[in-house]
Amino acid sequence: MTDTTIDGLAKVKMKKRRSFFFDLLVRLVKEKLLGTAGAAIVLLMFLAGIFANVISPYGVNEIHLKDSLEPPSLQHWLGTDNTGRDMLTRVIFGARVSMIVGLAGSALSVLIATILGITSGYLGGAFDMIVQRFVDAWMCFPALFIVLTVMS
């Protein structure tokens, strides 16, 4: 082997030293562009909720009566409501509440499903068959119908 071949092999080995996570991220961005854009928006809202006290231009309940129902401007990027509160600040603080509710709901759902699945798998028999039939019946209903029923 010549020196140039060895140098070429060394360069190929150096290029393959990237982490699995980095390669996965690059492939995800290339193949699923809309999913990546959605994840970026969710991440942005999540960070906005975490750092709401730092990035919001006004207090969440700060009232400016003279600025009631102002259209978007340099002072109030999204305008103001009928009591003069800044809408951008309200959206940023609303992101915090939305993320907490979404994460708590998902965590509760995973916890209940995990406990039910482990119990069903461990006990087996008739209990397992009943749980399977209940889950099958639950899955046949559209999610919107279930949400509307629970909300009413």
Say how far residue 80 (Cα) sits from the centre of its chain.
27
Q: What is the pLDDT of residues 61-97, one digit of tens each?
A: 999 899 899 999 999 999 999 999 999 999 999 999 9
What gap in Å lies between CA 38 and CA 85, rounded to an integer? 29
pTM: 0.66
φ and ψ at residue 80, rounded to 5 degrees: -130, 165
- SS3 category, 86: strand
Q: Are 80 and 86 in contact (CB under 8 A)?
A: yes
20-48 pLDDT per residue, tens: 889 988 998 999 999 999 999 999 999 99
What percent of the chain is modeled with pLDDT above 70? 89
Distance CA 132, CA 135 (A): 5
